[in-house]
Amino acid sequence: MNKIVYLSVNALVTTFTIQTVVEMVIEETSMSKILFFIIMMYVVFNTLLFLGIYIMDYLVSKLDSFLERKKKKKYSLFNWLSDPYLTLDFRNELLREMDFDSKNFHENYQKIKEKIKENKSLNDLKALKMYMEMKTESPRYNSILSSTQTILIAVLTTALITMYNIDSTNVFERNKSLIFFGGFWAFLLLTIDYISKEIDRNKLLLKLISECVEEEEKRKKSKT
């Protein structure tokens, strides 16, 4: 998805850069100034985009840590019904695991299953399965994703209308608006990327945990 974000933002930059360059050529601006303008547009936008991705990843990790600490605090059993908390003890272990072949799906799938099953009884796995079912069936992420996509389309439409309504001689105003809309657009794309990954991760985790439950049930039956 990060590649799509880069390509989308650069496509937006290219569109308005071409328009501005055409106007600069009509105004007989020197070639050195035109080249400087083109280089600066791409350098500034890609630098801001890179920093935005890094900052967002950092903020998301901090937010996850904050929410995890908050959930560990005491709250009523009634509140727990709407927001049950279950520690995924294998999460940090998987985050630290860097030595794996990303192209070997089966091996990675089995490795994660083993991590999930470590030190867990059948009842623990069943509880984990129920928890993940609740997370995947919850409309929370899908609602946020749908809202973000709607806002993204609205922002893009507004940006295009604004750009073309700005006086063609006012290059500064157009580029200022481009930076604002481009940055906000990139932020929304990254938000969609994060939510989509979270939804996909939860679905795959549920499948993994379901298989762990089935395997443990078969293992127990074979012993009896």
Residue 123 to residue 118: CA distance in whole angstroms: 13
Which is nearest to 204 in space by CA: 194, 192, 216, 212?
Answer: 212
Position 43 scores a pLDDT of 83
Residue 106 to residue 127: CA distance in whole angstroms: 25
What average pLDDT does range 8-26 have in this prediction? 76
Q: How many domains does the chain have?
A: 1
Position 208 scores a pLDDT of 93
Residue 28 phi/psi, 5-degree rounding, is: 60, 40
Q: pTM, whole model, 2 decimals?
A: 0.65
Domain that holds residue 7: 2-223
Q: Taking the CA of residue 105 as centre, how many other CA atoms within 13 Å lie in the half-sphere pointing to its CB? A: 2
Residue 205 to residue 111: CA distance in whole angstroms: 13
Residue 221 phi/psi, 5-degree rounding, is: -65, -40
Which is nearest to 138 in space by CA: 197, 203, 185?
Answer: 203
Which is nearest to 195 in space by CA: 60, 6, 55, 88?
Answer: 60
Would you say 142 and 199 are in contact if contact means Cβ atoms under 8 Å apart?
A: yes
For residue 202, give the amino acid letter: N
Residue 93 to residue 89: CA distance in whole angstroms: 8
Would you say 90 and 118 are in contact if contact means Cβ atoms under 8 Å apart?
A: yes
pLDDT band at 3, cuts 50/70/90? low
3-state secondary structure of 167: coil
Question: pLDDT exceeding 70 applies to what percent of the chain?
Answer: 77
Q: What is the pLDDT of residues 126-147, one digit of tens each?
A: 998 998 888 888 787 778 778 8
